[in-house]
A and B are shown apart, each in its own frame.
Chain A
């Protein structure tokens, strides 16, 4: 009797389950015959809060922007700046103004023409509302933007500004349709209108963003073969917060492209013949920073000594599974001023030098192998964020310091909390990174004027400050490069940072996808892409 009621209930559950478990619909890729190239679906970890290029840069905004907006210039993967919406430019003799000649025949998605007035409008708006943008400080260095004639726009400066091109090439500096901005008001971030290869389609909050092909596009950037309209019908960004789920979705064919940062996926990619891995070098550096304002790390010999304890090759091998390039200099290879030979000014892995330098700094080694000076033990707290693979790197660093007798405690906080702690100086060692497309990064992160802001390690050197300031105003590229090289020599010797590695990101593609190219900042260029039907 009981059994029968129970069995009935079980059956009801099974029936209810079956009713909902129909096989999955054929997923996104239904390529039509002829020219159309189907739909490309990309996973993204976090959803942008807005698609207004001049807003704050949180949560993957720059992933979507390059497809909706074009910039005046673009940066090629080898670090050159080439025209895009600007065909050419001419600097004045004193370097205080630059005239950009715009490409003719370009139209925004709303049909209005791109002209000098639209460019001036874009940058005027940026100065008014762009305080939250990562390039706000660079935009402020432009004193005026004005239309000279319909297709010529003049940028004026109070002082020569060598960072201009990298600023203009950032996706945040995309050119907006003035008509659409005025019509949308506060809603422009939900209804963005630019000149890009895709137009805004549907935005389903929490689920994804669909962009649709711009059929009038004929101004593809220098790096792609197809300058005309893209072949894809749609470009879809799906919000998938979990990295494992992203990988499963790629395996099942529900998405076509994911980006991986964790080495754990590498073997699984290699084992799957339907997937293709494309390693992407980023304009980024992961570094170990010292709190230069806090004893004993204010002593250059202590910093140098500890830096000699770091075995970068081991970090790349064990913590990253080879997913990074050992760094010798503060600037990554893709930026102007990079010179591999400068690494000789820094500290290579050498435990014997650790002992010598700590002794010179007045520390004595105790019987248990630890170090002390004036009765105080040499130890430290290593601060980093919870973002993978920081925990793995921190653990390797901890064991490397332990091997030379320096106990290190790891503290992992979320990013907001780490930034707060560093501006307050509440740390000893810092495992952190920067991502920037211009060597001015050194000025942003290491000049004394930025202490308690972006200079998180409280490093201060008047000579370095002067070199970086001079470099930011040097319009001649070879001269500018040599100024950054001089600055790097001093920085490496004084060791506010021990550069650890230049990160590599893995773009993993389904084999159905053909024609993806990679641009600067690891951007996925889809102008030539087709997706085979499934």
Chain B
């Protein structure tokens, strides 16, 4: 177990280094730099050159990356935004709570709705209910979030006037963004749960349990569910990475003050420290979730425990 953790954590450190370096290189090779983006239309070449050297953009790539990553990882200093001059740590701290809140609520919705729909569909395979559930999950996966969000706003905000169109701050503001964000995850979970419940229900140990006289309900809770959860758990773990890192579209539509919007604006501004700061926050979160999922997986499934740990 200890050896396994050390192996995973050192792998994670290497992943962080590789991803951050790739992000750094990609930003460097994107046309234009922060000096040009910042100073705008009417600058002279001298003005840009002066600003560029002030921002240390004239140093070679390796040297800049090394200066950056060493001070970030060793001293925890994420630097300052090239655009606003504010500390990157401060900027990320303003946005991270909103992102995490939205991600957790969406995650909870995806789990609960996904489990419910999946079990319902698996309860009577081939029935009209199952058909409806399956169609629903296909739609949930196929409809683009942008479009879903517009429909939700039209119905709940403009027609029924139950919910605000945009913004944050109250639980009501959370509903539409988290529903939009939860839809693909819920659909994935529902499909996986349906498939694995049907598979597990047909297996020998379930039949044995039922034959021994265990009530159908206890069989479901004690034997079928734990075994069916494993694939769904993996999917949810991957989904959380998407919720933290990929919520940009939903954040933009609902004007949600999250990390995604901050990062995308920073990319347009070629604001390297802010983008890198976001990478250094999001990548470890995703890696920790993936580690956590694997550990939970092992806890749920003794076979995995014996093989991997």
Give A residues with C-beta under 8 Å from B: 1-7, 9-10, 12-13, 16-17, 19-25, 27, 46, 49-50, 56-59, 131-132, 134-137, 186, 189, 204-207, 238-242, 244-245, 248-249, 251-252, 254, 413-417, 419-421, 423, 434, 444, 450, 452-454
Q: Pick the residue among A2, A58, A137, A454 that contacts B269 (CB under 8 A).
A: A58
Quick check: A24 and B40 within 8 Å, CB to CB? no
Q: 20 additional contacts, CB 8 Å, given A189-B85, A207-B168, A242-B252? A: A2-B197, A6-B117, A7-B116, A12-B116, A21-B171, A24-B161, A24-B164, A49-B81, A56-B83, A131-B39, A131-B50, A205-B94, A207-B257, A244-B150, A249-B166, A252-B158, A254-B164, A254-B166, A419-B36, A420-B32
Give B residues with C-beta under 8 Å from A: 30-33, 36-45, 47, 50-51, 81, 83-86, 91, 94-95, 98, 108-109, 112-113, 115-117, 119-120, 122-124, 150, 153-154, 157-158, 161-172, 174-175, 197, 215-217, 220-221, 252-255, 257-258, 261-262, 265, 268-270
Would you give the shortest CB distance from B9 to chain A, in whole angstroms? Answer: 32
> Which residue, of A16, A19, A207, has the highest number of chain B Cβ atoms within 10 A?
A207
Quick check: B167 and A434 within 8 Å, CB to CB? no
Q: List 10 A-B contacts (CB under 8 A).
A: A13-B109, A24-B172, A58-B38, A240-B255, A242-B253, A244-B150, A249-B166, A414-B268, A434-B41, A444-B42
> Which residue, of B98, B115, B174, has the highest number of chain A Cβ atoms within 10 A?
B115
Q: Pick the residue among A4, A57, A416 that contacts B270 (CB under 8 A).
A: A416
Q: For A207, what are the chain B residues with a Cβ–Cβ distance below 8 Å?
A: 167-169, 255, 257
Q: For A58, what are the chain B residues with a Cβ–Cβ distance below 8 Å?
A: 37-38, 40, 83, 269
Which 9 pairs from chain A and chain B are nearest by CB? A206-B257, A416-B32, A2-B123, A49-B84, A9-B116, A6-B119, A6-B120, A1-B216, A417-B31
Q: Which of chain B's residues has its CB closest to A239's CB?
A: B255
Given contacts A24-B172, A56-B39, contact A252 B165 (CB under 8 A): yes
Given contacts A414-B268, A420-B36, contact A2 B119 (CB under 8 A): yes
Would you give the shortest CB distance from B28 to chain A, in whole angstroms? Answer: 13
Quick check: A254 and B36 within 8 Å, CB to CB? no
Distance in angstroms between the alpha carbons of A27 and B167 in the assembled complex: 12
Quick check: B84 and A9 within 8 Å, CB to CB? no
Q: For A239, what are the chain B residues with a Cβ–Cβ distance below 8 Å?
A: 255, 257
Q: For B94, what are the chain A residues with a Cβ–Cβ distance below 8 Å?
A: 205-206
Given contacts A9-B112, A454-B41, contact A252 B268 (CB under 8 A): no
Distance in angstroms between the alpha carbons of A347 and B114 in the assembled complex: 63
Quick check: B123 and A454 within 8 Å, CB to CB? no
Q: For A6, what are the chain B residues with a Cβ–Cβ distance below 8 Å?
A: 116-117, 119-120, 123
> Which residue, of A12, A58, A238, has the highest number of chain B Cβ atoms within 10 A?
A58
Q: Pick the residue among A206, A238, A413, A450 that contacts B261 (CB under 8 A).
A: A206
Would you give the shortest CB distance from A468 to chain B, in whole angstroms? Answer: 15
Q: Pick the residue among A21, A244, A419 that contacts B32 (CB under 8 A).
A: A419
Quick check: A20 and B171 within 8 Å, CB to CB? yes
> Which residue, of B41, B109, B113, B122, has the highest number of chain A Cβ atoms within 10 A?
B41
Distance in angstroms between the alpha carbons of A453 and B161 in the assembled complex: 51
Quick check: A252 and B175 within 8 Å, CB to CB? no
Q: For A17, what are the chain B residues with a Cβ–Cβ distance below 8 Å?
A: 109, 175
Distance in angstroms between the alpha carbons of A56 and B95 in the assembled complex: 23
Distance in angstroms between the alpha carbons of A240 and B168 in the assembled complex: 11
Q: For B164, what are the chain A residues with a Cβ–Cβ distance below 8 Å?
A: 24, 27, 252, 254
